[in-house]
Amino acid sequence: MPRYLVQRLLQAVFVLWAAFTTSFVVLYLLPGDPVSIMASGGGDTNDVSPEQIAELKQVYGFDKPLIESYGDRLWHALRGDFGISVQSGDPVTRLIADQLPATLQLTSAALLLAVVLGAGVALAATYTRRRWLRQTLLSLPALGVSAPTFWVGLILVQLVSFRWGLLPAIGNEGFRSVILPAITLAVPTSAVIAQVFAKSLRTALAEPYAQTALAKGASRRRVHFGHALRNAAIPPLTVAGVVVGNLLAGSVVVETVFSRTGIGRVTATAVTAQDIPVVQGLVVFGALAFVLANLAVDLLVPLLDPRITAAAPAVAR
Amino acid sequence: MTTDTAPLLSIRGLRVSYRAGDGAPPAVRGVDLDIAPGEVVALVGESGSGKSTTAHAVIGLLPPGGRMDGGRVLFEGTDLATAGERELRARRGRDIGLIPQDPMVSLNPVQRIGRQVAEVLLIHGLADRASAPAEAVRILGQAGLPDPGVRARQYPHELSGGMRQRVLIAIAVAARPKLVIADEPTSALDVTVQRRILDHLQTLTRQAGTAVLLITHDLGVAADRARRIAVMSEGEIVETGPVRQVLTAPRHPYTRRLLASAPSMATEPVRVRARAQARARALPRAQALPRAQARVRVREVAAGEPAAEGGAPVGEGLDSAEGLVVGEGLDAAGGLDAAEGLVVTEGLDAAGGLDGAGGPLVVAEGLVKEFTPRGRARACAVDGVDFTIRRGESFALVGESGSGKSTTARMVARLTDPTEGRIRFDGQDITALSGAALRRLRRRVQLVHQNPYSSLDPRRSVADAVTEPLRAFRVGDRAARLRRAAELLDRVALPAATLRRRPGELSGGQRQRVAIARALALGPDLVICDEPVSALDVSVQARILELLAEFQRDLGLSYLFISHDLAVVRQIADRVGVMRGGRLLETGTTDEVFASPSHPYTKELLAAIPGGRHAVPARSA
């Protein structure tokens, strides 16, 4: 196990470094003078004095040669310092940390919902003997993936909040306010999970070992939940690791639609205002979330399938 | 049906069809079959005959799309064909056990062995949660699994195929059923393992008085294990009767055909038959050919037959027992018209000695292949193997899985590099060949793979497949290549229209013919056949082997045969090498090795050939 773990950790570190470097290159080296953009705050006001620009350059290390300033930024980033937000003047790290709980609440609720919903649809679709029900259930994922997130959000707000007045339409206050945004965010994710899980379940049920179980006299339920479920769980689990990234991306739209505070909102405003240190901090944060989720999946997979062990990790199979 | 007791299982007028749509005939068309308590009945047939479908219909486990159209399946008086799900579930595993076909995929890979055995007992209330684990270990031990206590805690992937099949047998007999359906229970296993497992199954069922319905494609297995045989073809039982009667006095033509093509039952090897035919054809062909092309070679001519009525055998210095051999000295020989059973070979020099030109085709010396499995010590897949393949000869490497035979073949084909040792091909050291020289070698050495289902690209037409080697070596233009492909297909007895087909539209035998045509496209000297017929039905097997023998006769090819099946090897090989654990245990002519094996392992292998218990008199096909 340790070697497997070390390998995974090294991969994770590499991904983080690559995310940092890429965002550095893209944000600081592409057209325009980053300091002028920062100073102007994304607007077109030209009331920044040359002295201020020189000062900013010094603060951000842009008075030094490129490679040195990269090294400087990387060194700071390693200690958790991604600079200072141009807009608010707060340290980027604190800005993200402040907004994290709200987004974590939203995304984890959405993930839980997506897993329950996705797995439910997949299990029901493969278990039912009614053809029409199976076909209906299996067509849901395609619908869920193709419906735009903001549209689902608006429909929900329209119906549940405005027409029926059941749940608040906007805001961050309390558990009730999470429900609608979490559902909105969960729809596309659950669709992907349902799709992958239904397929892997069907494959598992067609395997000869399912036949062996039936020949023992096992009921369909026993074969489905006792044999096929665990065998079929790995593909959707792997996908779940990947969709964590989608959840973060989705939070940008969902938090905007439901007027919630959180990482998504910070992202939206930072991008509009070209608040480069914040954007870079968010890119690296996104990479971190993604890496952690996949690390968790990699550690879970050997527990599900004894064939995948430290000696032969999932990727080698 | 001479049973005086009431049958345990009585199938009447069973009809099953698959929802295939395109008017495919029903899979099972009115099958009647009785099995008495404790009786062993073999249901024999080729793939698609409906034998597996019949077996699965008994326990109501037809594959998706399968539907029972009619008939009754009376088990102890209850009609299982009309029984409800609950009734069927109570019977499955409890009264009727099933041993599935492929042990490698028939166990749940994420569940421990013990739990999978205990499950049967728990389902049918034969043990409770506390007693089931110990009971499972006991049953595993009964099924002949060594260290059952340890095995019960392991996962299927930690067990060999043979051990997994024992686990499946344990599952099938755990509840002491009255009937066990064994669906090709050992086809996926090595012959010696197959034999031990069938022996054990026989002991177990005999002790418990369990009836067995044995589904098999192998008449040899059926003959060894069953009391009665039912032969199935195209959804119908064409003949049924006691073993001896079916084998010695088959009434139905299909049974006779099946008997004639079963490699383990036939007494006259394909190679001998091919050569006998060659005798009749050799003369006119030899005369028609320019000298340089006279490459037909058949070594053996039946002893005692007058080789050339016109006088002494042509070609001085030849052993007359080897028959008449005429080579490039055709003109000098003279008096050919009178020669019956003329055999032509290349490489005869003026002195008339065999193999005079260039020596043997392949010489392998001290071949070693080491590999290092992940996290384990180095191991030898091949450990010091020497052999030679003469020109125009079939040399077979025989062994069970893991014996190193395929690795050896891959080294000869230069698909993998030997760790040590040397390979000479046509006098040239090819051990370290690379670049253009290796490409030239590829032209002379071709492969026919085991599985014709996966060795042909499903998206490409047959024409593409056959012309691929020609394209790779830029032989001819498009039109010429297509002509060559048509010619090759004709040689493998496929209609020219096949060129436009895709592999998916062809049967297994047809695909293997395409693979052979592809291997012959460049006119190679050596064709390496890796289990070329093991994925095919016996009657198809026989035809493919005949085809291979014919090509050897006409084109003077050399073959390196890789096979686990001694019966097949005997059909085609001139000489045999027996491998085990990476070592070549013995080599010799096929007749020698089969008649008087020197190594105990060879003896064991020979004894394991199914059908040995019933020698069947030769029958002309």
- The DSSP string of B531-571 is STTTTS-HHHHHHHHHHHHHHHHHH--EEEEEES-HHHHHH
Pairing of strands B28-35, B9-18: antiparallel
> Which phi and psi angles does B75 have, rounded to 5°?
-115, 115
When comparing pLDDT for A72 and B150, which is higher? B150
pLDDT of amino acid A32:
61
- Residues of A engaging B, defined by a Cβ cutoff of 8 Å: 206-209, 211-219, 222, 226-227, 230-231, 304-307, 311-312
Taking 50 as the threshold, does the pLDDT of residue B285 lie above it? Answer: no
Q: Is residue A266 part of a domain?
A: yes
Tell me, yes or no, whether A301 lies in a domain: no
Cβ-defined contacts of B88-91 (< 8 Å, 24+): B88/B59, B88/B60, B89/A217, B89/A218, B89/A219, B90/A217, B90/B124, B91/A217, B91/B59
The span from the CA of B594 to the CA of B587, in Å, is: 11
Looking at the fold, whether A64 and A151 belong to one and the same domain comes out as no
- Taking contacts as CB-CB distances below 8 angstroms, the residues of chain B near A305 are 109-110
Structure tokens at B320: 């007359």
d(CA A168, CA A174): 10
Cβ-defined contact of B108 to A215 (cutoff 8 Å): no
The angle at the Cα of B210, spanning B207 to B213, to the nearest 5 degrees, equals 130
Segments of chain A with pLDDT less than 70: 1-2, 30-48, 59-63, 309-317
Q: Report pLDDT for A314.
A: 41
pLDDT tens per residue, range B30-55: 899 999 999 999 999 887 788 889 99
Chain B residues with CB inside 8 Å of A312's CB? 374
Which whole-number Å values give the CA distances from B291 to B286, B326, B348, in the listed order?
8, 11, 12
> Residues 129..168 of B with a Cβ closer than 8 Å to A: which?
155, 157, 168
In degrees, to the nearest 5, what angle opens at C-alpha A268 toward C-alphas A263 and A272?
145
pLDDT score at B167? 94
Domain membership flag for residue A66 = yes
pTM over 0.80: no
| A261 part of a folded domain | yes
Mean pLDDT of all residues in B609-618: 58
Q: Which of B86, B106, B115, B187 to mutate to test the interface with A (most CBs of A within 10 A)?
A: B106
Does B589 score more than 50 pLDDT?
yes
Q: Does B64 touch chain A (CB under 8 A)?
A: yes
Query: What single-letter amino acid sits at B136?
Result: A
What pLDDT does B301 receive?
A: 34
Cα B126 to chain centroid distance, Å, stands at 41
Residue contact B110–A230, C-beta within 8 A: yes
In which band, very low, low, confident or very high, does the pLDDT at B264 lie, cut at 50, 70 and 90? low
- Tally C-beta pairs within 8 A across A and B: 77
> A36 and A156 share a domain?
no
Residue A283 lies in a domain: no
One fold for both B1-95+211-256 and B362-607?
yes
* pLDDT (mean) for B337-361: 43
Topology adopted by domain B362-607? Rossmann fold (3.40.50)
Q: Do A212 and B92 touch (CB under 8 A)?
A: no
Residues A37, A151 share a domain = no
Domain regions of chain B by residue span = 1-95+211-256, 270-338, 362-607
pLDDT of residue A30: 65
Alpha-carbon gap, residue B516 to B469, rounded angstroms: 12
Cα Rg, chain B, nearest whole Å: 27
CA distance A115 to chain B (A): 22
In 10 A of CB B200, how many CB atoms? 17
Q: Does residue A26 sit within a domain?
A: yes
A212 assigned to some structural domain: yes
Same domain, yes or no: A55 and A172: no
In whole angstroms, give the CA distance from residue B120 to residue B298: 59
A215-A216-A221 Cα angle (round to 5): 90
CA distance A167 to A53: 49
3-state secondary structure A50-77: HHHHHHHHHHHCCCCCHHHHHHHHHHHH
Considering only CB atoms, A212 lies closest to which of B90, B91, B107, namely B107
Give B403-440 pLDDT, tens digit per residue: 888 889 999 999 888 999 999 998 889 888 888 889 88
Contact A208 B64 (CB under 8 A): no
Q: Which member of B90, B123, B171 has the closest CB to residue A212?
A: B171
Q: Which of B61, B91, B375 sits opposite A211 (nearest CB)?
A: B61
Has residue B346 got a pLDDT over 80? no
Shortest CA gap A215–chain B (Å): 5
Confidence band, pLDDT 50/70/90 cuts, at residue B612: low
Position B308 confidence tier, pLDDT thresholds 50, 70, 90? very low
Using pLDDT thresholds of 50, 70 and 90, give the confidence band for residue B373: low
**Co-location of A47 and A173 in the same domain:** no
For residue B322, report the phi and psi dihedrals to the nearest 5 degrees: -80, -5
The total of structural domains in chain A comes to 2
Q: Note whether B406 and B562 are within 8 A (CB).
A: yes
Same domain for A201 and A157, yes or no, is: yes
SS3 of B81-130:
CCCCHHHHHHHECCCEEEECCCCCCCCCCCCCHHHHHHHHHHHCCCCCCC
Nearest CA in chain A to B93: A216
B91, B100, B119 ranked by CB distance to A218: nearest: B119
Position B60 pLDDT exceeds 50: yes
Q: What b-and-e string marks burial along B4-39, b requiring 16 or more CB atoms within 10 Å of the CB?
A: eeebbbbbbebbbbbeeeeeeebbbbebbbbbbbbb
Question: Are the beta carbons of B123 and A222 separated by less than 8 Å?
Answer: yes
* Integer Cα distance of B187 and B216 in angstroms: 8
- Answer whether A307 sits within 8 Å of B101, measured CB to CB: no
CATH 3.40.50.300 fits B1-95+211-256, yes or no: yes
Residues of B with Cβ-Cβ distance to A304 under 8 angstroms: 110
How far apart (Å, rounded) are the C-alpha atoms in residues A272 and A213?
58
Q: Are residues A187 and A232 in the same domain?
A: yes
A104 close to A177: Cβ distance less than 8 angstroms: no
The answer to whether position A51 is within a domain reads yes
Q: Name every residue whose Cβ is closer than 8 Å to that of residue B310 and which is 6 or more positions away in sequence.
A: B335, B336, B337, B338, B339
Q: Residues A98, A154: one domain?
A: yes
- Does the pLDDT value for residue B619 go beyond 60? no
Q: Tell me which chain B residues have a C-beta less than 8 angstroms from the C-beta of A219.
A: 89
Q: Which amino acid is at A179?
A: I
- Are B263 and B538 a contacting pair, CB within 8 Å? yes
Which pLDDT score is estimated for A66?
76
Residue B547 pLDDT class (50, 70, 90 cuts)? confident
pLDDT at B604 over 70: yes
A169 shares its domain with A100: yes
Segments forming the whole domain that contains residue A63:
2-78
Same domain membership, residue A117 and residue A49: no
- Neighbour count for residue A285 (Cβ, 10 Å): 22
Task: State residue B48's pLDDT score.
Answer: 78
Same domain, A114 and A253: yes
**Yes or no, beta carbons of A216 and B375 under 8 Å apart:** no
* Contact yes or no for B108 and A231 at CB 8 A: yes
Half-sphere exposure of B441 (CA within 13 A, CB side): 23
Shared domain for A167 and A27, answered yes or no, is no
Residue B530 CB-density burial (10 A; 0-12 exposed, 13-18 middle, 19+ buried): buried
Task: Tell me how far CA of residue B557 lies from CA of B295, B392, B484, B548, B552, in angstroms.
Answer: 9, 5, 18, 9, 5
Using a CB-CB distance cutoff of 8 angstroms, which residues of chain A are in contact with residue B157?
A: 306-307
Residue B578: in which H helix or E strand, if any?
strand B575-580
